[in-house]
Every structure is written in C-alpha cells, then in structure tokens.
Amino acid sequence: MATRKIRGWWNVDLYWNGVRYRKRSPLNTRMGAEQYEIQLRQELLSKGSLDHLDPTRAEKPLTFGEFAERWMLEYVAVNNKPSEQKAKRGQLRCHILPRFGEFALNEITNGEVERFKAELLGKKLCAKSINNSLTILRKCLVTASEWGLLENVPRIRPLRTARPTYRYLQQEEEMALLSAAKPFRFWYAAILLALRTGMRFSEVSALAWKDIDPSRGDATVRRANVRGHIGPTKTYTVRRVPLSTDARAALEQLVKNDEYVFGYGGKPLSYHTAYEWLVRLCERAGIDPCGWHDLRHTFASRLVARGAPLRAIQELLGHGSLDMTLRYAHVGQAELVAAVALLETTPSTWAQGGHNPPDGAKTHTKTEALATAISRWN
C-alpha cells in the first residue's frame, strides 16, 4: 500500500520512474493520507517529480544577474554588432547589475525601476545615459518575457530630454577648413569626402578602392569601421552615394597602395588619429574645433537649406527612418525668421495709418527681409 502509518503518523510512500517518494500526510488519518496520495500522483503526472514540494530541493527563482549573462550569450552576441555588445555589457556592469543582479526577475517592479532612476540621477548622470541604461534593462526583461521566464514586464518610462542641437560649419568655416587641409592631400580628401557625401566617419574609414566606381562617379557604402572591427553599416544597408567633381578630383590625387582609401598598412584609419588631425586643422583654419560627425551634419544642413527633398537626403545619409532626417530641418528656420522680419521692416507710418503699403514697396521689403534672414543663417 502507498499509505502507511509510521511512528504514529500517516505517510504516503510511493515510487515514480524509479524514484521513491515518502511524504508525511497533512492530516493524520488514513482517509487524509489517501487523499494526499491522489494529490501527489497528480503532481507527478503534471510535473514529473515532487522536488518543488521539498524546500531543500526546490528550484531557486532565476535572478536577473543569471538571466542577463544568458541574454548576453544567447541574444546580444547573436543579434548585435561588437560595438553594441560592448556598450550593453558596460551598462550592465556599471549600473544595472549592481542594482538588480540579485533580484528575481519578477521582483523588478515599476517602483524598483523608479527608485533606480532616482539613484542614477543622484549620481549626477545625464538623462541620456540614464535612458541608455533603462533601454537595456527593458530589452533584457522583454526577452525574458518572450522566452517564457517572466510573466509581466514592468513599464519603464524614459526621462524626458531636450532636443539635441547640432553643430554644422558655416560656409566660410567650411572654406577655411578645406583651405587649411589642402597641403595635406590625404586629410583634404577625407574631409572633402565627408563634407560632400555625408558619410559617417566609420563609413569613410572603411571605404575601399573597389567601392569607388569612376565610370559612374559614385561610391558604394557597404561597410563600417567601428573600433577597428569591419562590419555592416549602422543601419545594415548598402547605398550608392554620388561623388561631387571636387571629391573625385581629390581622390584621384591619392596613392592607391592600400586596400582602404584611407588606410595604413592594410588597416583602416582609426578615429582617434583622424579626430586629432581634424582638431589641428580647425586650429590652423582659425575656427572652433569640430568632430567628424559635424561634417555629416554640415552636408545634411546644406542640402536642406538649398531645398533638397528630405527623402533624397534620407537616402544619401543612410537613415533608417525619415524622423532621423527631420532633425536637420532646423535650417528651415530661416523662413520663419524671414516671416517675422517682414514685420520689423514694415515702415511704422504704414502701421500707424492703417493702410497697406504699395505693391512695389511690399515686394522690395519682402525681398530685402528674406535676403537678410538667409544671410544670417548661411
């Protein structure tokens, strides 16, 4: 019999798949032990063992730290580029794991996340850095939910951040920089290519001679160099970028003794070296220092200011969405400035008299205001 009385108390004693289980009945009666046996057999049918009923053998809940390591190995390493993997591991190590590493997955609640945000703010981290941590935390928890390890993902609200401003070179700054770089053919060509194509520095440094087609007069952007690792572009796309006449001429002056257009000894140009040279050339040109991404901003801003379609600019820049390209629409503010300038240039006598100005005067005033506004922005 599976139920028996041992030392004055009813127990259930049974075998399942070669394993013996002996459990003390909650009720010290024969009927209570028989009911308990039925319950145990149902547990065995559904779960295959009774370990979950033994506090000493029950499986411990998975902690966030344990899952995060699995997530890095099985998800991030498979789906993210090396630079993204490094960024995620850094955020986990510095901010997320010290706070949530010992938490069970289901213990990370909305309240705990809000306390986490408050702690990071207390450490004087900027909103963008905090949002980066929150994004990684959320993605990790969402993956746990998709893998059936977490029932409810807490709602994670990012901090509000101000819209970033972008530096782009004025026309005279651009001319001064190119003039300063002219004696250095290598750097002149690299800077001019960035200004005329809007390529990211990672794409400029990964550009190979085989990617340039002189017959078509364009360059195929297919790879990116991120910290010495050559991989796909940021948006995993391949695009063709037309080369301006002066950019083609500058490239023709370079010596083609390397796989990469801007390479040393078979290796692509490093960002650290390129940035140092760009800063030196800015000093030589007598302008404020700028970064390589500012040259990309300059390219986009010039096109917007001159009325290029945003869809065309999106394709040239390799943006994944039009929203990214719309960041450069700030150059269109010149039209708003011109509109307000119409009020400033209207003679006060017309306003006082309540009469409309003559047609010729209106046209002259509008043209003058537009010219003044555009000159300010350009």
Residue of 240, 293, 330, 366 marked catalytic: 293
Residue 234 bears catalytic tag: yes
Residue of 88, 99, 302, 319 marked catalytic: 319
Q: Does residue 267 sit in helix, strand or coil?
A: strand
* Cα–Cα distance for residue pair 293/202, rounded to 1 Å: 10
Planar angle of CA 220, 223, 224, nearest 5 degrees:
125
Residue 293 bears catalytic tag: yes
The residue to which tokens 């746990």 are assigned = 144
Residue 327 bears catalytic tag: no
Contact (Cβ atoms closer than 8 angstroms) between residue 218 and residue 245: no
β-strand partners of 264? 267
Residue 328 bears catalytic tag: yes
Residue 30 bears catalytic tag: no
Residue 52 bears catalytic tag: no
- Start-to-end CA span in the chain (Å): 95
Contact (Cβ atoms closer than 8 angstroms) between residue 373 and residue 334: yes
Residue of 117, 200, 297, 302 marked catalytic: 200
Residue of 89, 185, 234, 240 marked catalytic: 234
β-strand partners of 220? 240
Angle between helices 64-71 and 127-146 (to 10 degrees): 90
Answer positive or negative: Cα dihedral of 217, 222, 226, 231.
Answer: negative
Which residues have a catalytic role annotated? Answer: 200, 234, 293, 296, 319, 328
